[in-house]
């Protein structure tokens, strides 16, 4: 019988929470539409994910490093598009 370890649970949880950003990242890349997204939320979230990644590196926890590396990449894409959209909106006023 397969023994489920805490690390396995961590990888499963990390995979699920990280995968939850794929639909938003894909939609943002396809449509370039970020109107309904909160700049404040994505700025805070991306900063928090970055700090979780730093924390994972410091404590040498591969689950935390894996999850937050991928999530940081996806969240950064969304944040970049939101920033570009916001700057363009300000310039067009």
Report pLDDT digits (tens) over 9-19. 988 998 898 88
What is the pLDDT at residue 42?
92
Please check whether residue 29 lies inside any domain of the structure: no
| Residue 61 burial (10 A CB sphere; 0-12, 13-18, 19+) | middle
Element (H, E) at 80: helix 62-91
Sequence-distant (≥ 6) Cβ neighbours of residue 39 within 8 angstroms:
82, 83, 86
Within a domain: 87:
yes
Percentage of the chain modeled with pLDDT above 90: 55
Token code pair at residue 34: 């970020």
Q: Residue 2 gets which letter from DSSP?
A: P
Residue 39 belongs to a domain: no
Structure token pair of residue 85:
């959209």
Q: Is residue 28 part of a domain?
A: no
Domain around 69: 60-93
Number of domains in the chain: 1
Q: What is residue 1's predicted lDDT score, i.e. its pLDDT?
A: 81
Position 18 in a domain:
no
Residue 7 has a pLDDT of 87
CB contact at 8 A, 10 and 40: no
Region 1-30: mean pLDDT is 88
């Amino acid at each position: 019988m397969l023994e489920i370890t805490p690390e396995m649970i961590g990888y499963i949880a990390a995979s699920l929470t990280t995968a939850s950003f794929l639909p938003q990242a894909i939609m943002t890349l396809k449509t370039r539409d970020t109107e309904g997204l909160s700049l404040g939320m994505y700025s805070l979230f991306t900063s928090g994910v970055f700090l979780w990644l730093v924390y994972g590196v410091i404590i040498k926890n591969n689950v935390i490093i894996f999850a937050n590396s991928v999530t940081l990449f996806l969240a950064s894409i969304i944040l970049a598009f939101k920033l570009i959209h916001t700057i363009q909106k300000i310039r067009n006023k």
